[in-house]
Amino acid sequence: MTVMTPGESAVPTDSAVPTDSAVAVEAAVPSEAVGPLMRGIAVLREISDAGGRTSLSELVRTTGLARSTVDRIAATLARMGYLRMDGHSAVLTPRLMELGNAYLASLRLPRLLGPLAAQLAEELDESVSLAVPDRDGIRFVHQTTRRRAMSLTFRIGDLLPAERTAPGPLFAAGWDERAWVRWRERRAADPEDRGFPAVPPRGAEADGRGGADRDSAGPDDGGSGGDGPDDGEAGFAARTERAAERGWALDDQLIEPGLIALAVPVRGPDGHVLCAVSAVSHTSRHSADSLRRTLLPRVREAVAAMERELREAPTVPAAAPAGLADWTSASKQRLGADFLESLARGLTVLTAFGEGRAELTLSAVAEATGLARATARRALITFEHLGCVGSRDRTFRLTPRVLALGCPPLSRITLPDIAEPHLVTLVKKVHDSASLAVLTGDDIQYTARVAAGRVMSVTITPGTRFPAYAASMGRVLLADLAPAERLARLARTEPLALTPRTVTDAAELAALLERVEREGYALVDEELEEGLRSLAVPVRDRTGRAVAAVNVAMHSSRRSVERCLREVLPELRATAEAIEADLRIAGRFTRIPSA
């Protein structure tokens, strides 16, 4: 059965095959494919395409799966820590990024070239991205975003149709006839680019834009004659030919009015194009022509440095993981019929890959996961059918499509987003309000807060500021600064006595901060407001820097200081650790904004 609503492309509702346009031409399902794994992947992709959150009934509608199947898939993914339920909605969790990370680590490009891309962005004061070919699309594997007058920003994992991007023609230069056939079929099956949730529908762009590649395209070199920027097959073929000749390509507002990009291919030591670097700007700062004139030489220099890095970077020897799937049997015992063991086992297969482990044999996958060879083999066959794994000469590798499993929404999350569900859990345990804050100047600023329903005299919402010296989270964040910086801050502020108990003496404050640093927490008792006691610990990023602090605030009559330390501090620390664990996974290949 096929359900069509106006303005929507046909989605077969009786099969759980992902609706990504790149699989418009579906191969027959291999007899050895694992059904629950296929359906689980379909669910993950649906939630991902929906922006990381969707209701279970919506999932039933979009995947065509039975409600009971969706429930069991959700229960299994929740047990894996890849999804959480928020009321009736399924929400992807940062932990899920470990699947995409396995691909990004095995690719090596983000780690090796990301810093050079960031340096180029700094130098040009424009956004710079790295994209890899993904069948007839391009998929981003790195973004250093510096966007100003622009509505759209793409993130890691976003898939764009090749013909509407700057890297597209560079990749299409290497397509064979089969690839062009597939491209044509996808265009015919999905004329509005609905299979690319990151881009506005094709044909929806405003008129009056420049043209696909106006600078030297000459008078109409093969446009489709239609409206909007889509220049049809002849146009894309012509741009591809020119890109092959020149070694660069432009996107002059093919995605949306105002957005322009210049791309140059990056080749590996064997001469193959591995990815493309794009410098992205806006028509308010550049024309397509001036983008090429002013930026091309510098992008080329950066690409030369990137290609050098790829030739010279030492390979990192990787320790082989073991027993990745060992926990799945225990979960099956605990959760019974609600736990789809074959889905959980299948997904752990993806985590067997990584840096230095880009190409694995079946034996290596079986060894890393602890799965029987037959089980690992069937999972690999399933992933290959879904386009998430490729094979050659008896080895398997992950494909960019693994990034469709949650990366686009999860690479957009912020630290407050990560923290919130953990704060909710904490508040349920301690029955007092919990918050997250960052240091801004001499103040702390709240970025997330979960209230405990108890009436407190302080009304705090995200955005609220307090002087750092008198707040528990402020003390934790000040204590993390280098000693000289800490002293400079204390010297610059003139602490006010907000209550009779506020410590205002600089030497005394300095000693307090040393103690906070030593003990790893701050307890502030009625110094900010009478009757208010609060306890805070730092939240540290991968480098160990305190990027935020988390606290519990309560009325001072609620517990003695001793009980507060005994009962609340361990819970608070566990919360900070849970946030840090998520931050490490989500922030491995992308910068997570602290506020």
The residues binding ligand PHB (CB under 6 A) are 127, 129, 154, 165-167, 251, 255, 261, 278, 280
Closest CA to 109 of 87, 71, 139, 145: 139
Nearer to ligand PHB, 411 or 534 (CB): 411
Q: Using N-to-C axis directions, what is the helix angle for 67-79 and 341-350, rounded to 10°?
A: 50
As measured in angstroms, the least distance from the Cβ of 170 to ligand PHB is 11
Cβ 236 to ligand PHB, closest distance in Å? Answer: 13
User: Per the structure block, which two tokens stand in for 533?
Assistant: 């006691």
Query: Do 446 and 464 contact (CB within 8 A), yes or no?
Result: yes
Compute the least distance from the CB of residue 262 to ligand PHB, in Å: 8
Q: How far is the CB of 9 from ligand PHB (least distance, A)?
A: 23
Between 11 and 166, name the residue whose CB sits nearer to ligand PHB.
166
Would you say 136 or 527 has its CB closer to ligand PHB? 136
What is the nearest approach in angstroms of ligand PHB to the Cβ of residue 101? 20
Cβ atoms within 10 Å, residue 224: 13
Helices 35-49 and 67-79: angle between axes, nearest 10 degrees: 80
Smallest distance, ligand PHB to C-beta of residue 131, A: 6
Tokens of 556: 């001072």
Distance CA 44, CA 55 (A): 12
DSSP line for 228-243: SS--HHHHHHHHHHHH
156-194 burial, b if ≥16 CB within 10 A, otherwise e?
bbbbbbbbbbbbbbbbbbebeeebbebbeebbeebeebb
* Least distance to ligand PHB, CB of residue 292, Å: 13
- CA dist 306 and 82 (Å) reads 34
Count of residues making up the chain: 595
If the CB atoms of residues 161 and 421 are measured against ligand PHB, the closer one turns out to be 161
Of 146 and 584, nearer to ligand PHB (C-beta) is: 146
Q: Which is nearer to ligand PHB, 257 or 467 (CB)?
A: 257
- 19-to-16, 56, 109, 156 alpha-carbon distances in Å: 9, 17, 28, 20
Please say which residue, 299 or 434, places its beta carbon nearer to ligand PHB: 299
Using DSSP, state whether 21 is helix, strand or coil: helix
- Comparing CB distances to ligand PHB, the nearer of 280 and 437 is 280
Strands 443-450 and 83-86, sheet pairing: unpaired
Give all strands of the β-sheet with 395-398 in edge-to-edge order: 360-361, 395-398, 389-392
Q: Nearest approach, Cβ of 252 to ligand PHB (angstroms)?
A: 9
Q: Decide whether 83 or 243 has the Cβ nearer to ligand PHB.
A: 243
Give the shortest CB-540-to-ligand PHB separation in angstroms: 30
In this structure, the dihedral spanned by the alpha carbons of residues 101, 107, 109 and 111, taken in order and rounded to 10 degrees, is 40
Between 159 and 572, whose beta carbon lies closer to ligand PHB? 159
CB of 255 to ligand PHB, least distance (A): 6
Given phi > 0 = left and psi -120 to 50 = alpha, else beta, which region is 157?
left
Instruction: Show the beta-strand stretches assigned E in 70-154.
Output: 83-86, 89-92, 127-134, 137-144
Q: Which of residues 118 and 506 has its CB atom nearest to ligand PHB in the complex? A: 118
Identify which of 255, 248, 253 has the alpha carbon closest to the alpha carbon of residue 299.
Answer: 248
Closest contact distance (angstroms) between CB of 192 and ligand PHB is 18
